[in-house]
Amino acid sequence: MPATAILDIDGTLVDTNYQHALAWYRAFRQHDIVLPIYSIHRHVGMGGDQIVPALAGEEIERELGEAIRSAEKALFLSMIEEVECFEGASQLLRTLKERGHSLVLASSARQKEVDHYLELLDARGLADAWTTSADVESTKPKPDLVLAAMEKVKADQAVMVGDSTWDAIAAKKAGVPSIGILTGGFSERDLQGAGACCVFESVNELKRHLDETPLAKD
């Protein structure tokens, strides 16, 4: 059987990374913590349980972590109607399905956000499964999300497709090869340095070159 295709959603299939960066900036600022947005962007792709201590330290996590995450949730949801799919995202899913891959859409986002993205991508009839924040205790860069995605379809082999260094690191820790896409704002060098075996400019470029990736036909 072809390897299961695990596709990150945020930043890979839908264009959300900069909305998330701005939402985190505003959430921290509401608590009198001003961080440079470029630094926040470099951490987008981590889950909320990881990003607060990574950006502001363990003391802030203990004192304000839940409040900051709650603020970010509301701030991001106020922008979610601005989110669009990347060109070719739905077609990539259809192509992978036609080639015999099981599809798992991997996200540590809240259920409401994932539901919105599934509708945008018209993916409910294509994906074999998807994950949400409820499926994992620890998010990327820990491997839990990748392992949970594999468990959803009882996969022995999988390939991760993602846009951030955190996707590649999580996949590597799970023993899964990863493909990077530049849509999240991370560089080719960043993604390869984190473990991605190949990197593409866009979803459409990946679709054109699938046979040059670990998702190639056997």
- Positive/negative CA dihedral, 174, 179, 183, 185: positive
Position 61 confidence tier, pLDDT thresholds 50, 70, 90: very high
What contacts 184, CB < 8 A, 6 or more positions away? 11, 12, 17, 44, 45, 162, 163, 164
Residues in the chain, total: 218
pTM of the model as a whole: 0.94
Q: So what's the pLDDT on residue 133?
A: 87
What contacts 57, CB < 8 A, 6 or more positions away? none
Average pLDDT, the chain: 96
Q: Is the pLDDT of residue 161 over 90?
A: yes
Between 192 and 47, where is the model more confident?
Answer: 192
Which domains, and CATH codes, for the chain?
4-16+84-212 (3.40.50.1000), 17-81 (1.10.150)
> Which of 27-31, 77-81, 136-140 shows the lowest per-residue confidence on average (mean pLDDT)?
136-140
CB of 149 closer than 8 Å to CB of 29: no
Position 217 confidence tier, pLDDT thresholds 50, 70, 90: confident
Mean pLDDT of 68-93: 97
Mean pLDDT of 88-96: 97
pLDDT, tens digit, 9 for 90 and up, residues 172-181: 999 999 999 9
pLDDT, tens digit, 9 for 90 and up, residues 108-126: 888 999 999 999 999 999 9
pLDDT, tens digit, 9 for 90 and up, residues 144-155: 999 999 999 999
Position 96 confidence tier, pLDDT thresholds 50, 70, 90: very high
CB of 140 closer than 8 Å to CB of 46: yes
Q: Is the pLDDT of residue 3 over 90?
A: yes
